[in-house]
Structure 1
Amino acid sequence: MKNIADKVGIKDSSLYKHFSSKKEIFDTIVQEMSVRMEEMSRAFGLPDEKNLAEAAMLYGRITIDQLLGLSRQIFLFYLKDEFASRFRRMLAIEQYRNREIYEVYRGIFMNAAITYQTALFGEMIQRGIFNGHDPEAMAVNFYAPIFFLLNKYDQEPQKEAEALQALERQIREFARIYQGTGK
C-alpha cells in the first residue's frame, strides 16, 4: 500500500483509514481519474462521445488553430495535471506487475482513444470532412505521435515549449494529409 500512496502523493497511513485493500484503493483511483477526464472534457468543450454525428460536425467546423489550441490543452492536462500525470505514470509502471493494471492502462490510454477516434474519423470520412479510407489507421496516425510525445516529455518540464512545437507539427501534418489543408 505504501507504493500506491507514494505514487499518488499521499501518506500511506491515510490509505489504511479509508480502504480495506489495494484493490479498493486502485478502483477508487481509477474512478476518480474517470471523473476528472469527464470534467476536463466538459471544461474544454469537447463534444459528447455518444453522438458521433454531432462530434464530426463540430470537429469539421473548427479551424486548424482551434484544433491546435484544443490539442494543446488536452496534451498539457495529461502531461502536467498532478493527478492525471501521476495516475498515468502509476499505471505505466505497475502494468508489468499486475495484469489488471495493464488492462486498465491499455483500456484508457490505448483502446478507448483509438476506438473513439476510429468511429469519429469514420463519421468524418462519410461526411466528406476527411479524406481517407481506413479510419482505424487514421486514428493510430493521429493518436500514436501524441502518446509518444506525452511519454517523451513526461519527465522534461523544461522542454514544454519543445513538446508543444512537436505536437503542433504532428497536428498540422495530420490535417494536411487527411483534410487536404496543404499548409
Structure 2
Amino acid sequence: MINTKEKILVAALRLFAVNGYEAVSVSQIAGELGITKGALYRHYKNKRDIFNCIFEYVCQLDVERSQKSGVPEKDYSEMPEAFSNVSTESLENYMKAQFYYWSEDEIACNFRKMLTLEQYKSPEMSALYQKVLVSGPLEYIENLFREISRKQKKELPSPHALAVEFYAPFYFLLSMSDGADCKEKKEEIAHSYVHYIDDFFQKYFL
C-alpha cells in the first residue's frame, strides 16, 4: 500500500503537471491530500525537496530499465566502454520499454508534462527538459549508433542522422498519446511505435 510520503509525491506531481512547478504551493499540496503543512513537513523539507525526490525516483527507474535491457545506465562520457557492447536488440528493447513507461506510468507522464510547461519559465527547467527528453536522449542514442555502426559491414547514414530518424517519432508519438481520448487509441499509438522501431532496424541493421 502506498504510504504518506509517496502519496505526497504523487499528489504534488499531479498538481505540477497541471499548473506548473512554480505556481503550486506547499499549502496546495497539503490541501490536495487533506493534511496540514506541518504533516507534510515531517516528510519533506520544502517543495524543492519534493521535486528532487521525484527526479531521483524517475532517474532510478530509468537506470533499472537500462540495466534490464542491457544498455548503459550512464552517459558516454562516464562509461564509454559500455557503449561498445550494446546490441541492436538491446537498444530496440530499451526504447520500446521507454515508450510504454513515458506514455503509461502516471509519475512519468506527469513529470514529462511538468517539464514541458516549465521549460519556458526557468533556464534550469529548460536545461532539465533538454537533458531528460530531447538533446540528452538524442546524444545517448547517437553514441550508441556510433559504436553499433562500427561493427556493420555496410555503409550507413551518420550516427547523428540515424539518431534523429530513430528518436524523432518517439517524441512525436508520445505527444499523440497525450492527446488520445481512450485507452484503445493509446494502445494503437504504442503499437505504431513498436512497428516503427522494428522497421527501422530491419531497414538499417538486417
| TM-score normalised over the length of structure 2 | 0.70
**Which residue of 1 is the match for residue 204 of structure 2?**
178
State the partner residue of 1:86.
110
1:103 is matched with 127
Give the residue type in structure 1 aligned to 2:164: V
CA offsets per residue over residues 71-97 of structure 1, 9 Å max, x none? Answer: 433211110011111111111122122
CA distance in 1, matches of 2:154, 2:50: 43
CA contact (8 A) 2:13 2:107 kept: no
Partner of 1:32: 57
In structure 2, distance between residues paired with 1:82 and 1:5: 9
1:164 aligns with 2:173: no
How far residue 116 of structure 1 moved from its aligned partner, in angstroms, is: 1.2
For residue 69 of structure 2, give the secondary structure of its aligned residue in structure 1.
Answer: coil
CA RMSD after TM alignment: 3.0
For the residue of structure 1 that corresponds to 2:84, the secondary structure is helix
1:147 corresponds, among 154, 159, 171, to: 171
Letter in 1 for 2:59: S
1:53 aligns with 2:70: no
Unaligned runs of 5+ in 1: none
Partner of 1:12: 29
Aligned partner of 1:113 in structure 2 is: 137
**Which residue identity is paired with 1:143?**
Y
Q: 1:135 to 1:149 in 2, by over 3 A?
A: same
Contact 2:71/2:94 (8 A) holds in 1: no
Deviation, 1:134, is 1.0
Unpaired segments of 5 or more residues in structure 2?
Answer: 1-10, 19-25, 74-78
Identity of aligned residues (%): 25
Alpha-carbon distance in structure 2 between the residues aligned to 1:106 and 1:145: 16
Residues 1:40 and 1:172: Cα distance change in structure 2 (over 3 Å) = closer
2:158 to 134, 139, 158: 134
